[in-house]
Chain A
Amino acid sequence: MSEQQAVGRVLGTQHTSTQEFRVVLDDDNYLQLDDLVVVRTQVPKAGEVRTYGVVTESEGIFEGASFESDTFRIAEDGILPAEKVRSAQVAVTRVDPELWVAADPGETVYRASGDERSKALYVDEMGRPLPVGIGRDTKPMFADLDFFDGRKGGHMSISGISGVATKTSFALFFLRMLSARPEILGEGAANLRILVFNVKGEDLLWLDKPNRFLDDEARDAWATLGVDPVPFPSVSFWAPPRRRSGDVVVPDTGGRQEGVDAFTWTPREFIDEGLLRFLFTDASDSRNQLSFVEERVRTQLNRWAVDVAGQPGAVVLREPPPGGWPRSELATVASGERVIMSLADLVDALEEFLEPVDGDEPDRAWSGRTQAGTISAFMRRLYAAQSRLGHLIRAGDSRRIDRRQAQITVVGIQSLHDLAQRFVVGAMLQETFEEKEQTGQRLPLSVVVLDELNKYAPREGQSPLKEMLIDIAQRGRSLGVLLVGAQQTASRVAPEVIENAAIRVTGRLDAAEAQRPEYGWMLPSTRARARLLKPGTMVLSQPAIPVPLVVTFPFPSWATRREEVADEGDTFDGI
């Protein structure tokens, strides 16, 4: 109750309500957007009721001016006396105790600080308040982790124009807060695993390096949030192998090679995990009967594949005995028999079954009763996949992405074709989700960060990837698989995915996009402002607070470009 600062009084010329009221400001004070205020009202028979609110608009007018030209008479000629009145519109966030009465007109309005600020932001009612940014008053703003980690809600959805909305930056900031404040996250902090896809540039390949442009202001901000301004301590980086690099497997990255592992799947893994389905992720694929053929071929591959002695990861396709091949079966390659070492080999093998060169009918066991045209379409897609992601499938020792290596696993797919990107994302999501499905446990938590969600779970059409994302959005909460999805426009993403996100965040929005129903959780004033938000400023909504918060987040303490990487030693030593 200390440091109370009266800023004005509740306006008396219009009705106050339990939704909003106006504050007429004292001459020597101000309120800006997003400031938090409190009003104490004496309610007959009930005692004092405190109304908390957040400023949604700030206005000023010459009282006494009736015509627009009066402005000149008042301000320039000075012949018309007028009162300059500044006021602020306040949206009520809370009434405490919960007695829903309007604030009294004429009551003093105070800036909410200290405990009152916490109450205005419901921090006192949050199970596990995690700082998720800094308010305009330079104090931390909180989100209730109960609504992120699945206890009461899960997932986060981040929207905003690319480039200025800083979606990825905010996602990483959030991850940093999540991983750096284990005392808040609680039991979920143990063995927390985070999977991040780097889809554009190589921004995320430097998470483990300090940022040399980190200044004192940013350090202060990090200190406010209770986190050391250091890079992510535990990160593993993965990238697809470079093409045409022969037998040497080198990660296909531009700026960084050291510390980056190349990942591939062996044909064995490809078949075991049914990754074939993720070659048919185009939304148009579901409209014809391709998925039919794909399903049948996938099942057949599973039954026919036999490991090859001395060739780890490679398989041969042999007609299985009744009951199928035992897993321990090791084939010794007969002469002339095709050993599947790569996707190209697999495609060739499938071609023999489905489109025999000599013009024979396709093998019904593989093709089912599908039209020849569908078979051709299926094969055409396989050829395309072969050229686009053939390099991701190769026999040899397993090089699959190992998410246990570090807390954060960054998978760089920026150099891949769209089709290949969807393949990798699909394979990784399936792996993550199935792992949790098998245990059925919420813990340890597994967080997946995926940008350009509109590409993977578009509003229109069907694809195995979209189904999987919807599945994660709907069931992931209870299985501890939490999606931090980002997209330019929420209206282009499958509504099931957006609706299941308990925490919603937006950066700057396109003006037209901001008017869509997907952003109905924002106040009209916030919507209007969403097209003006500066990079680094986000609007955050969570179930615990009835109004969205506007927060900023500090400059990253990790590098986001090669140029930002600070030398591990002191660069300026001896200068």
Chain B
Amino acid sequence: MAELYVEGWSPEYGAAVDLSDERVAASPIDTSVEVDGLWSPMNGHDDDIETVAFVDGIRRIDARLTLDDPVAGPVAGICGSFAVGATIWDRKARRSVYAHQQVHRMAVLASGSHIDFPIVGQALDYRAESVATDDPAALLAHFHGAMRRAEAALSARLAASGTFVIADGPINELRAQPIVGYIKSHRVTYLGSDLMPVIGRVRAGQRTPIFLIDGAQFARYSWYVRLADLAGGHSWTGIVRCEAPTALGIDAAARLADRTAALLPLTASEPHIDPRAPQNLVPIAALERHLRRRLGDQALVYRSLQAAVAESRATLPAAEFATESASEIR
């Protein structure tokens, strides 16, 4: 009978897996979808949209697991929690609120192992899943993917109700919905040397013309926006990239692009407050802090997990061990 253990090692140990969403593979680029020929910075336009939703998610590895299978040997696993939610910016009321927060907890095991994960506590319900390989990075990727899917689902839900959504990270949206992906870092060079200098000339509140990234899975419109003119910065300081679904059509995408060029600088963070300024937008940074709190205290969760897993071993076959431990945890 295989027994489950919570590793004493810090959950973050060995987590240095690059989960960058930016697709590294070079895709064909079309820079003539909006402006054909020479580019120059374009001014943003605030169309007084009343509501803007910023969607983001955060995740945390709660514990590392080992399933001690007497036959197959040890199987790695992780316990993790993630939360997704939105900051709804009511521009008319000049007020922002958190909304649609949801917390998910997962136990992921490698090698396709399936277990009944013990019930840890009332608010700590871990869903057991598995990945086919025994690659530790795949565990994390699976977990991360679940979070990205939850984010995308929330973005889609909000957008379907007509809300303009700014989602953290690249988009996975094919439908014609008002969703803009917001990418903080630049790992891929999309523009050629002829157009690259325009980036340096884009001022805060301006954007580049839209270009098309004709990716393997689906195509996206993209453009660069400068959030702030920071003194002493290089030409890419304060530049972020945005994405929108091509299904919108170029005109609608251009309207969204104008809107982001006007609105995003308003929500940019200050360098003296946030080291990731200005790219780490205030509503998103706040949302991340808020969601992190919703995950619960890490040390408390870790101890609860340890206790519940140990209990489940002691009382095998697993049946009625949960009640007592749950009350202890609280």
Smallest CB-CB A-B distances: 5 pairs: A78-B94, A81-B96, A78-B95, A79-B267, A79-B282
Distance between Cα atoms of A169 and B144 in the complex (Å): 74
Across the interface, B266 reaches (CB within 8 A) one of A64, A69, A75, A77, namely: A77
Contact between A81 and B266, CB atoms less than 8 A apart: no
Chain A, 74-104, CB within 8 A of any chain B CB: 74-82
Q: Please tell me if the beta carbons of A67 and B273 are within 8 angstroms of each other in the complex.
A: yes
| Inter-subunit contact A79/B273 (CB<8 Å) | no
Neighbour of A64 across the interface among B89, B94, B267, B286, CB < 8 A: B286
Q: Is residue B270 within 8 Å, beta carbon to beta carbon, of the partner chain?
A: yes
A79 & B98 in contact (Cβ 8 Å cutoff) = no
Q: A79-B282, A81-B290 are in contact. List 6 more A-B contacts (CB 8 A).
A: A73-B282, A77-B94, A79-B266, A81-B96, A81-B98, A81-B286
B93→A80 contact, CB < 8 A: no
**Minimum Cβ distance to chain B for residue A426 (Å):** 70
Contact A80 B96 (CB under 8 A): yes
| Cα distance A75–B95 in the bound complex, in angstroms | 7
Question: In the complex, how many angstroms separate the beta carbon of A74 from the nearest chain B beta carbon?
Answer: 8
Give the shortest distance, in Å, between A311 (CB) and chain B (any CB).
93
Say yes or no: is B188 at the interface (Cβ < 8 Å to chain A): no
B90 to chain A, nearest CB (A): 7
Residues of B close to A80: CB separation below 8 A: 96, 282-283, 286
**Which A residue sits closest to B88, measured CB to CB?**
A81
B90 engages A81 (CB within 8 Å): no
Min distance, Cβ B277 to any Cβ of chain A, angstroms? 12
Near A by CB (< 8 A), chain B positions 83-107 give: 87, 89-91, 93-98
CB-based nearest B residue for A81: B96
- How many residues of B sit at the interface, in one of the four size bands? 20 to 34
Q: How far is the CA of A67 from the CA of B270 in the complex (A)?
A: 11
Interface centre among A74, A76, A79 (most CB of B within 10 A): A79
**Residue from A64, A69, A73, A76 in contact with B289 in the complex, judged by beta carbons closer than 8 Å:** A64
Decide if B289 touches A78 in the complex (CB within 8 Å).
no
Chain A residue numbers with a CB within 8 Å of B96 are 74, 78-82
Q: List 6 A-B contacts (CB under 8 A).
A: A64-B286, A64-B290, A79-B89, A80-B283, A81-B96, A82-B286
* 0/1 interface trace, chain B 8-45, chain A, CB 8 Å (1 if under): 00000000000000000000000000000000000000
Specify which of B89, B98, B273 is in contact with A78 (CB 8 Å cutoff).
B89
A66 to B288, CA, bound (A): 14
The residues in B between 238 and 280 inclusive whose CB is less than 8 angstroms from any CB of A are 266-267, 270, 273
A82 to chain B, nearest CB (A): 8
Provide the bound-state CA to CA distance between A78 and B267, in Å.
9
Residue from A74, A76, A78, A82 in contact with B90 in the complex, judged by beta carbons closer than 8 Å = A78
Chain A residues with CB below 8 A from B94, complex form: 75-78
Of all chain B residues, which has the CB nearest A73?
B282
Kindly list chain A residues whose C-beta atoms are within 8 Å of the C-beta of B89: 78-79
1/0 per residue, CB under 8 A from A, across B283-308: the answer is 10011011000000000000000000
Give, as a whole number of angstroms, the nearest-CB distance from B272 to chain A.
9
In the bound complex, residues from chain A placing their C-beta under 8 Å from that of B87 are 81
CA distance A79 to B278 in the complex (A): 14
In the complex, the chain B residue whose C-beta lies closest to that of A65 is: B286
Nearest chain A residue, comparing its CB with the CB of B293: A64
B273, A69: Cβ atoms under 8 Å? yes
What is the bound-complex CA distance between A69 and B289, given in angstroms? Answer: 17
Chain A, residue nearest B95 (CB): A78
Asked if residues B267 and A81 are in contact (CB atoms below 8 Å), the reply is no
